[in-house]
Copies of this chain bind each other. A is one copy, B any other.
Amino acid sequence: MKLFQDKISSAASRVRIALALKGLDVEREAIGILGPDALNRKPEYLQLNPQGLVPALLTDEGVLLTQSLAIIEYLDERYPEPPLLPGKLEDRAFARTVALAIAADIHPLLPPRVTAHLGMIGVKAEDIAEWSRHWIRVGLTAVEELLARRQTGQYVAGDAPSMADICLFPQAINAERAGLPLDQWPRIAAVVARLREIPAFADNGPAPRS
């Protein structure tokens, strides 16, 4: 397998964490996603993946998989140990709910292509920064409420890290970088503190943009 990724991408961070939890050591290729012509830098990557987005995982069978959560579900089905979802149906749903509350309700509003587009339609730089903080704040508050109602163990969905923790960790790091201290969400802060003790998480977070 080969992972196409970027060090600042939190979606790529999710896949790196999943691979590390599974103990899978794969070749990595860096694809720049910042800067006006970032997506033009690697024509051979655009040939393989016309959208140019990261992460993408090339399987041993030569199939290119995209979308971080689809890649993580694939890894979990193909390499079942350790599982990235709990066993009980309702708990599996809860892990996926929190993963999507981040991957579909927060992160899509924040990537470079979106913030760049806001600038193109005339939104000022300080309003773009506040836009990002707004959606992180709304989204993590929702996650905190989900945890208050359903959390039963050390991590988001039980006593082992799951797909939900994999999505939470990079988003929490980026929240702190955006000037939003995690202590306003005590359950999230406690889970993230535990995740920082796990090398698969600590070694694979997103790098800062600057």
Closest Cβ of chain B to A86, distance in Å, is: 12
Tell yes or no: A61 within 8 A of B by CB: yes
Interface size on A, residues (CB 8 A): 43
Which chain B residues lie closer than 8 Å to A96 at the CB level?
Answer: 67, 69-70, 73-74
Interface residues of A in 16-75 (CB under 8 A from B): 50-51, 59, 61, 63, 65-67, 69-71, 73-74
Closest Cβ of chain B to A123, distance in Å, is: 6
Tell yes or no: A93 within 8 A of B by CB: yes
Tell yes or no: A183 within 8 A of B by CB: no
- Chain B residue nearest in CB terms to A74: B93
Closest Cβ of chain B to A85, distance in Å, is: 9
Task: Evaluate contact between A97 and B50: CB separation under 8 angstroms.
Answer: no
Given A65-B94, A69-B100, A71-B93, 18 other A-B contacts at CB below 8 A? A51-B142, A63-B93, A65-B93, A66-B146, A67-B101, A67-B104, A70-B96, A73-B92, A73-B96, A74-B90, A74-B92, A77-B89, A100-B103, A103-B104, A117-B131, A121-B127, A121-B131, A122-B123
